[in-house]
Amino acid sequence: MSKARDEILERLSSAFRPEGDLGEMRVVRVEPAAGADGDAMLMVALRQFDENKTGYHVLGDRNALLDSLANNIYSRQMRRVACDFRGLLAEPWLLKGLTSKLPSTELLDVTTLEFAEIASCDAGLTAADAIIATTGTIALSAPDSRRLAASLLPRTHLCVASVDRIVPDLAAWNNEHVRIPGLHRVLVTGPSRSADIEKRLVLGVHGPWKVSVFLVQSAGEDL
Partner 1 sequence: MEKFRTHLADPEAARALVGEIRHRNVGRLKENLEELEKRLVEAGTQVLWARDAAEARELVAGIARSVSARTAVASKTMVGEEIGLEEALREVPCRLLQTDLGERIVQLAGQSPSHITAPCLHMDAAQVGEILKREAGMAHAQDAEDMCRFVAAALRPEFLSAQIAFSGANMAIVETGELVIVENEGNGRAGFSLAPVHVALVGIEKVVRSRQEAACVLSLLPGGATGQDATVYASFIPAEPEAGRKRFVIFVDNGRSDVFAAGPHRELLRCIRCGACLNVCPVYERVSGHAYSWTYSGPIGIALAPFMGPPVARCTDTDLCTLCGACTEVCPAHIPLDRLIALARRTSNSLRPKAEQKKAQRMARWYARAMSGPGAFGLSHLGHRLATRFRKTLSRIESAAGWGEERAAPKPARRLFRSMFRQGRRKGRWPL
> Using CB under 8 A, which residues numbered 87 to 126 contact partner 1?
115-116, 119
Q: Distances from the Cα of 50 to the Cαs of 57, 72, 153, 217, in angstroms?
A: 12, 18, 23, 19
Stretch that binds partner 1, among 58-66, 85-93, 94-102, 143-151 (CB under 8 A): 143-151
Q: How far is the CB of 54 from partner 1 (least distance, A)?
A: 10
Dmax over Cα atoms in the chain, in whole Å?
70
**4 near partner 1 (CB under 8 A):** yes
Q: How far is the CB of 65 from partner 1 (least distance, A)?
A: 25
Closer CB to partner 1, residue 84 or residue 169?
A: 169
Q: Of residues 51-90, which lie at the interface with partner 1 (CB under 8 A)? A: 51-52
**191 near partner 1 (CB under 8 A):** yes
Closer CB to partner 1, residue 196 or residue 221?
A: 196
Amino acid found at 38: G
Contact present, 181 and 148 (Cβ < 8 Å) = no
**198 near partner 1 (CB under 8 A):** yes
Q: Of residues 144-163, which lie at the interface with partner 1 (CB under 8 A)? A: 144-146, 148-149, 152-153
Residue 20 buriedness (CB in 10 A; 0-12 / 13-18 / 19+): exposed
Contact present, 45 and 202 (Cβ < 8 Å) = no
